[in-house]
Chains A and B, each alone.
Chain A
Amino acid sequence: MNDFAYAAPTSLAEATKLLQESSGSVKILSGGTDIIVQLREGAREADLVVDVKKLPELQELNFSATHGLRLGAAVPCAQVYDDTRIAAAYPALVDAAKIIGGWQIQSRASIGGNLCNSSPAADSIPALIAHHAYCEIVGPAGKRNVPVEQFCTGPGKNVLQKGELLVALVFPPDLSHCSSAYERFIPRNEMDIAVVGCGSRVQLNAACDTIEFARIGLGAVAATPKYAQEASEWLAGKPANEDSYTQAGELAKKVATPISDMRGTAEYRTHLVGVLVKRTLTTAVERAKSFKNP
């Protein structure tokens, strides 16, 4: 690994100052499970690595049934899925957190880091989109909020400007008869990169037979994770049945502009969008029928 300097600031002000004033290339380290590999393999360069795990705001895990979830950007995946309240209210997030790498990776890797790495195939991002989460970013000009679906701008690229830092992901509260699911297709059981990933969240009516509101996020089907807006909006007011899920899957395929690579052809990936939209909607609706906000 090439040489670099290391800093572990303990306040946001100190961190943004370091990020802003450094003359060379600066990389942020949270769990390190992507960045250390990239630095070692020469895929990214750093003159300074800023470890953000000591910033209290980035370690915050604050959940309330009325206000939703505030997830610090450096909270590791294992801490997210070990929290039973989060598992009940944000199941798509937990589905994703449980399949990012193996247990050793999940002990270190954070959801915020997964988002900032900005891989088109990142598992947490379609789940974040489905949950309607937004990013709280702090920088030299102050604080700004960005919806997750607008955060990534290309493979490995995002909206963070020099001096800026992702502080937290903020989730709206989950309501009664509302739930979600994330699934990806991979050729083996564990430890693989999504060929396609899909997160869906639904809000049902009181009788649990009609979808009132839905959001579908897709991964590995374009240069950035996508919000399947047309499919999501079309589902509002539709019966919660297989025909609706199939139709939503067909509409979701419209946002897919996948590449062909060794993991799958573009045609195969597009086909998988339909399959996974249907599966995640089915699971989300089943879960929503029994979920009541405490």
Chain B
Amino acid sequence: MSKKVLVIGEVRDGAFRNVSFEAIAAAKEISADGEIVGVVLGENVSGLANEMIHYGADKVLTVESDKLADYTPEGYSQALQTVIEQEDPEGIILGHTAIGKDVSPKIAARIGSGLVSDAVGIEAAGEEVIFTRPIYSGKAFEKVVVKDGIVFATIRPNNIPALEKDESRSGDVQSVDVDIKDLNTIIKDVVRNTTSGVDLSEASVIVAGGRGLKSEENFDILQELADVLGAAVGASRGACDAEYCDYALQIGQTGKVVTPDLYIAVGISGAIQHVAGMSNSKIIVAINKDPEAEIFQIADYGIVGDLFDIVPKLTEEFKKVLV
């Protein structure tokens, strides 16, 4: 049966995050030949709406307000509640991003629905939609269905491929008026730490460092490699505990769980907690001077040796090949 599915698009720095398009692909799986309704919230975002249609949405609703300029759970939930009441969808999909994971449980509680968080796979099986999601940070997986309420899920970036962009697709773009009440949550400031602009959760290539880096300054050689590859820099808990880098970069069971196409582990021994956070990466490269390091057990390719010799050479070689 065809279903109407809402997809909440997420705009960051004036453009959609790629996971918004991946969410449309996930919605297609749920909707069968039903309607996919994109939703864009923010200030000065209406001009972007057509892009959701190019990626497969049939219609896009925009909610513009200065109170939506920054994300707040209250502002977004008021706007989304209005849209949900108006559209009465049978499914809702968001990206499992800082915003998606913050607002979706609030909405689910408000509308009395189940919610599947952090899905990495989706399949329709007759009337049911089965989501695959990691548990124990990827040490295991579960398959989950929503049995009460709408088919509501957040999807992990970089796991469900977006549909091909088709600029010839067209559809309605409508604005929805929402009178958003005064907010109890006030955003005072945002401090940008992510210098390279590549977010770990969405990065297709990650260069991660461990205790083997030996100092905060030495993370610079990882950044140089990352810059050549357009990669994000991550770290093991050991490197964070040793204050070589910020905890925001930590990958592992406590920390971020990532699934890039390429994960380069530099000076990382491969403790079980770290491996939980990255073992589902498509290709894993390990660079470590200890041939017995556990990381080699899960690496697709490994180089045994001194990272301070290897990484700069690797950066130079990638430069040659990628230019």
Q: Do A and B come from one complex?
A: no
Residues of chain A whose beta carbon lies under 8 Å from any beta carbon of chain B? none
